[in-house]
Every structure is written in C-alpha cells, then in structure tokens.
A and B are shown apart, each in its own frame.
Chain A
C-alpha cells in the first residue's frame, strides 16, 4: 500500500501539495512514483511563468514512460528543486526514494487560494488510488 500523508492535498493526476502561507510545494505521490518506476529526469518547463490550475508545468521521465506534471493550483512557478537534476549521482531517483520530502519538484506562489478546496484530501485520494489499483 502506498503512503498517503494526512497533512497534504492531492490531485486526480497524482500530484501532492503542501501549503505554507501562499506557497504551494508540489511533488508526485508515492503511488505515482511506484507506477512510473525508475525516474531518470525531471524538467519544470514553466519555471518563472504564471500558470492556471491543471496546466502542464513540466514533465517527469522514467525508464519506460514520460508523464506531464500538472499545476494543482494557479499561480507563479517560483522555484524548481535544483537537487533533482544534479550531475553527480542518481539525483532524479530522489523522487523514488523520498517523494514527499527530498523529492519535491517545484513551488508555486498561489494566486487563487479558493482553488485549494477543489483538491482531494487523504481519504478521497486513498479511494482514488484503490480504484486505480483495481483496474
């Protein structure tokens, strides 16, 4: 069973969000990293740009597939996790090892806090994952 912390918000597209003030830290869930398997590269293409909720903000490349990363909330993409694509070692694998910690992907300065209520909580996301696993 995948780990789904209670203090985070989730999207149907398997991003998680940690809200601190008006900053949303974003990553992909434990379930998502397991589905993707070995992650080799992450790119935040929208760094510095203002995006709307559900827009593509980057992509994540695993050995067997590439997936888009979607903005869970509208706002400005102010920071990308520079540690993930460091040249030395297998830095992108941090997303596999610690998806909710060291493996965070980027930060968005929230422009419309009302959108946070459209995100899933732990229970709703758990249900979504369970349904996905049955397929």
Chain B
C-alpha cells in the first residue's frame, strides 16, 4: 500500500470515474452560505527545521521533572522509567497500531493485552482485568454503571477521601444517568467516616466507592468498609495505587468486587497530564457486566496458540443499545508500557520500589514533625504520600519552591478553599538522600 498523497492525475482519474466535473462539485449538497469562501487564516508554512525549533521553544516553557525535583503526586508520580520501555514501544508494530479491530491479524498486540491483563490480575489478586481504560477517573466512573447493572439498585456512596478530580468525573457520568451520588464525609484523621457510612447505606445502595490509599495518602479501614457494604448487599469498589500493592494487601485479598487504578506510575511519563492508563479489574462473576474488552488465549484447529478478543459485549458489536458502556477503545500503547514495566521490575522489583517510596516519604514526614509551624494532619498509616498542615498557604510554598528548583507538593487549596494550608507530599524511589535533605531545609525556611 502506498502512503503518498494523490497526484493531480489521480484526482482527474477519480473525478472522471464517478462522472463529476471538479472537486468543488463534490460539495454541491452543502448550502452556499455554509461554505468557507476565504482561505484559512494561518501563518505561512514552516520548514521542518523551523517547526522543530519552534516546538522545542514552546516545550522548553514547561518546567518538567527533568528540571524540578519532584515531591508532588496526587495520582501522577515521578518514577524512574527504564530505557527498555522506549526501545520496545518504538517498534512500529506497536507504536503505530490503532485499536486492534482486526483481532486475528494483530496477534502481537493481542498477546500484549493478554499479558497485561494477567500481570494486573496477579498484582491485584483479582480474577479478571480488562484491556485498559482511559484513566483511573473514567474507570471509576464506569463502575457506577456496572454496579447499578449488577445490583438493580440506584444509590452510590462515594468517599470524600477519593481524589476530587475522580469524584468530578464520576459525578459527570452520573448526571446523565440520574444516579444519586452521596459523598461520605471524612474524619479528623482523613479517612472515611465509618459511622456516616453506616447511616447512609441502605437496601438501595448499589456500591460503596473508596480509594486506598486515599487521596490524602492514608490507608482506609477497608475490611470494615467491605463488610458493611456486603452486609447490605452493595458492591465494594476500590481505587488503588498499583505501586503500593508491592507492600500492602491487594484488593482481591479483602474481597473487593471491582478494583480500578491509575496506571501512570507503571512506566508512563508525566506527559503534562496524559495519555494515562485506566486499570479495571473485577471478580469473574461480573465479567459480562464489565466495560471495554477482554483478550483471551485459545488454540486453533491445528493446536497452535492464538489470541482473540473474547469479550467485547458491552460495546457496539453485540449489546448495541443495551450496552451499559460505550467505551470502545483501549490504551493499548500505555498498557504495553505497563506490561514492560511490570515485567522489567518483577515481583521483587515492585516491592523494592514501593519500599523505597515508603521509606523516603516517611523520612520527610519524620523531619517535618520537628519543623515548628508544620503539623502532620493524621496519625494513620501511609505508604507513599501524606498531608501536612503548613504555616503559610501551601500555594506560597509551591510558588517559592519552583524558584528554588523544587516541586514542593500538591497545594490542596486548588481543590477546596478549606484546604488552603494543606500540602500533599510524596517521594518516589528517584529521590536521593541529598534531595530529601535539601527539601527539608527548604521547608524549614517557612518555619513559624
């Protein structure tokens, strides 16, 4: 197949073949007043060299984590990315392929998806995983459809300790469905208020949605929450952090019905916000209610292993107007990155990365305790992130940090004015001891 554009001769040939005078007459059915009569208002064409210089100039306006020492997380983390990822994803078979609609001819892509699902199931200890979603927020929103579909109930309880951006996406999806979403308050130690959960849950509750570790970094009392949800016949849905699963109990082990996650931390660069990777897992009995698609391994009539799209029933092919979800693409390249990352790290590697994040974040937290004016907001356990109360608005610390080459954390005032003095701090395995100490010294300059 040629990828060159059509020549004037090609155009003449095509027009002649269909019996049309010129290209303009192909648009005769469009009313004259709707047609654009002037050329588009664009600057003159650039040469390739000029374009790349201009793009570089624009890109350099970004202050990325290559130039700032990053202590900010909140769902997107600055992890080390091994070069093997770029080497493999740059192969054109992977890099240029779109969603594998022609399943049988995309064996490599399908195998990758199958391996991705298998690795995710193992890490989460869940029975089934789909072939990826857009990001954690949309994956969480899809669970609302699914829980209602499974339980034939209507109400959704969502913890106030879930990332506010995720909650916004869930609320947006729910608006169209007329689903009442009730937000559960959090206690003084920044975890879900169990009493409020007990009061709110009833026989019309389809699901309880929790993030663990939660947005503020702390571990939720998941076992109590799952028990409360199941006693009332509601599903328990959990958004988790894949790296944390190196050292904390995975969602399958505490009986999550559905577990979702943001997969950016598995080898995907920060990329100014996307594309990211939504991970979606469930218990096997819910497989036919899952959105998206699932790849499977089979054997052909000669006994050779082959990979197929086994379930894609929620989309346009089979369920059509009955589909509970119309999500019909997947993040194949990002899922490939996560697959390579998990394979590269291995079981021990993920543990080691999680341990390092945990140790380094605790090192900062222990030091902060002794800086006058700063207070840790909770005594609860945390894995890789925690929230601190700052003596000046967190915004000022972030602004000043950028001038000092430090991304100080996430200013939670961006999400809620009551959190103006709250700073969410993380440290990945990339941070050196010298960087941690430099950061602590920097925070000391705000000491009250």
Contacts and interface: CB of A to CB of B under 8 A. Distances in A.
Interface in A34-63: 41, 43, 45, 59, 61
B426 interface: no
Interface in B307-331: 313, 318-320, 322
Contacts of B319: 66
A41 B318 CA distance: 13
Contact of B322 (A41, A64, A68): A68
Contact of A61 (B152, B313, B320): B313
Interface in B173-220: none
A43 B286 CA distance: 12
A66 B317 CA distance: 10
B318 A64 contact: yes
B318 to A, nearest CB: 5
A45 B152 contact: yes
B438 interface: no
B123 to A, nearest CB: 26
B313 to A, nearest CB: 7
B288 interface: yes
A124 interface: no
Contact of B318 (A43, A45, A65, A68): A65
A40 B237 CA distance: 28
Contacts of A45: 152
A65 B313 CA distance: 9
A59 B318 CA distance: 12
Given A41-B288, A66-B320, 14 more contacts: A43-B288, A45-B152, A59-B322, A61-B288, A61-B313, A61-B318, A64-B318, A65-B318, A65-B320, A66-B313, A66-B318, A66-B319, A66-B322, A68-B322
Interface of B: 152, 288, 313, 318-320, 322
16 contacts: A41-B288, A43-B288, A45-B152, A59-B322, A61-B288, A61-B313, A61-B318, A64-B318, A65-B318, A65-B320, A66-B313, A66-B318, A66-B319, A66-B320, A66-B322, A68-B322
